[in-house]
Structure 1
Amino acid sequence: MTGHVTGIGGLFFRAADPAALKAWYATHLGIDSSPVWPQAAGPTVFAPFAADTDYWPADRQWMLNLRVTGLDALIASLQASGIAVETRPEEWDHPEVGRFARIVDPEGNNVELWEPPEA
């Protein structure tokens, strides 16, 4: 094969208020995409799920998973801002995979926060 994909170059999705949603992600998750968001190298999971998955709400086609560090501090910051954070340590967290939390953005998009295990 002469060419291959080296990573995800962008995530594009519709929003009722793109400017407000962009500001929300910048404020609460530190994602500054003006004009691009430089990010740390690391693992990316690309995984289509069955149409009837219950891993996220059935009325949504996708769920964004963001790789994070300092999950506990991020959770505290989100909660201090009035953002509901869901955790299920006994169900979602595994030493070999990492720890997880979930939030919903102002437009109802599900966002999973993933702190991979330390290498």
Structure 2
Amino acid sequence: RNYKNNFFSEFLATFILIFGILYIVKPNIFIEGMDVNFGIGSLDALPVGILVWVIGLSLGGTTGYAINPARDLGPRIVYQLIPRKNKLSDWAYSWIPIFGPSLGAVAAGLLFLYFN
């Protein structure tokens, strides 16, 4: 198991997801004479779903693309609480799906704010 590559994969997958979502939902249709800006509205879910699918196809092989710390941390905590003998929860690896996506999301948000 390569911690550095797995961390980078989680960071990059979440960075692409958050950066893509921020640009998808950004209001970008301006109509002259109106004070309201329009985005793609209810169609936001379709490109976001396609984006998650593409991330899974391209970056999902190395770590299973957690791209959300709760997706890994919640089951780890529940597994730790279940009374079972010989538990094999790998807590040494748990920091990767927690800090990789968190730092990737922060970096994507900061870069989005920088460009806008």
Q: Same fold (TM over 0.5)?
A: no
Structure whose alpha-carbon radius of gyration is higher = 2
User: Which structure has greater helix proportion?
Assistant: 2
TM-score normalised by structure 2 residue count: 0.24
Higher relative contact order (CA 8 A, sep 6+): 2
